[in-house]
């Protein structure tokens, strides 16, 4: 049973470009969560999605960031016009129910030059 998959594992972008981060949840999991980890800090919740629905985006910056979890395919976290402060590790987690344990993917390390 494959775990949570994230790609790419490392992503380098120049300021102003767009970053697309993908997350495929574990088999049987329909709840997806995105977290951001700045260097030497804990993870911070960004957004919680179910298939085709954003349930809670209270941790998402109001501008430039968006997330989706379409009926088919992976969940996408999209960052437009990236800035240096967006450099971080972005983790996706999934669970079967929203109250279940969340299992994390390996993360995508975004570096903005």
The residues of the shown chain that bind other proteins, judged by CB under 8 A, are 31, 33, 35, 41-45, 48, 55-56, 58-59, 89, 91, 93, 98-99, 101-107, 109
CB 27 within 8 A of CB 18: no
Cβ proximity to other proteins: between 10 and 15 the closer is 10
- CA-based end-to-end distance of the chain: 37
Q: How far is the CB of 104 from other proteins (least distance, A)?
A: 4
Q: Which two tokens stand for residue 2?
A: 């494959």
Cβ proximity to other proteins: between 18 and 59 the closer is 59
Cβ proximity to other proteins: between 54 and 76 the closer is 54
CB 59 within 8 A of CB 33: no
Cβ proximity to other proteins: between 13 and 31 the closer is 31
SS3 57: coil
Q: How far is the CB of 13 from other proteins (least distance, A)?
A: 19
Q: How far is the CB of 70 from other proteins (least distance, A)?
A: 19
CB 92 within 8 A of CB 102: no
Please identify which residue in the block is written with the tokens 């929203």.
98
């Amino acid at each position: 049973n494959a775990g949570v998959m994230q790609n790419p594992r490392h992503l380098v972008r120049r300021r102003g470009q767009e970053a697309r981060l993908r997350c495929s949840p574990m088999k049987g999991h329909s709840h997806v969560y995105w977290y951001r980890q700045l260097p030497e800090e804990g993870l911070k919740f960004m957004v919680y999605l179910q298939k085709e629905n954003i349930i809670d985006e209270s941790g998402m910056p109001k501008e430039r960031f968006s997330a989706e979890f379409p009926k088919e395919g992976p969940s996408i976290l999209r960052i437009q016009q990236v800035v240096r402060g967006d450099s971080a590790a972005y983790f996706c987690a999934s669970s079967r129910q929203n109250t279940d344990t969340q299992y994390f993917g390996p993360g995508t390390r975004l570096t903005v030059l």
